[in-house]
């Protein structure tokens, strides 16, 4: 799937509240790089960051997948800047998929959040 195809599919499938100015920067096999932009004057909340985690994990694993188990480690607070999400599939096992996502403030230098998850493909 190309970046443009993933962008269009995500905009069609996800609720507007989960998009957060979503831009698909890179999409290769099972690795995805997304950029999210906060609304002007709005800071990232924990709930919004968890929404970005869910969106980035599903972008890598498949938008039809749903998180069944999630582990999140917050490494540092979010800045009032774009968030870059790097996510990838670690392993597929039948309907289950194991993936991880890293969130960065503005640039891919020091991560602010790391998550691992098991996702189950809806049938």
78-101 pLDDT tens trace: 998 999 999 999 999 999 999 999
What's residue 22's pLDDT? Answer: 95
The residues, ordered by sequence, that sit 6+ positions from 54 with a Cβ below 8 Å of its Cβ are 18, 67
Which is nearest to 63 in space by CA: 1, 13, 4?
13
Which pLDDT tens digit goes with each residue over 21-39?
A: 999 999 987 799 999 999 8
* Domain extent for 100: 3-121
- The answer for residues whose C-beta is within 8 angstroms of residue 104's C-beta and 6 or more apart is 83, 84, 85, 86, 110, 111, 112
pLDDT band at 123 (very low <50, low <70, confident <90, very high): low
The domain total for the chain is 1
Mean pLDDT within 115-123: 90
Q: Domain holding 55: CATH number?
A: 3.10.129.10
């Amino acid at each position: 799937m190309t970046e443009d195809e993933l962008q269009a599919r995500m905009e069609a499938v996800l609720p507007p509240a989960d998009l957060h100015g979503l831009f698909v920067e890179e999409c290769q096999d099972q690795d995805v790089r997304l950029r999210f932009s906060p609304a002007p004057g709005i800071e990232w909340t924990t709930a919004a960051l968890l929404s970005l985690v869910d969106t980035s994990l599903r972008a890598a694993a498949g938008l039809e997948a749903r998180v069944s188990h999630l582990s999140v480690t917050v490494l540092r607070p979010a800045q009032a800047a774009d968030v870059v999400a790097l996510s990838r599939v670690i392993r597929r096992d039948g309907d289950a998929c194991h993936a991880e996502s890293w969130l960065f403030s503005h640039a891919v230098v020091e991560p602010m959040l790391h998550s691992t998850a098991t996702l189950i493909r809806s049938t």
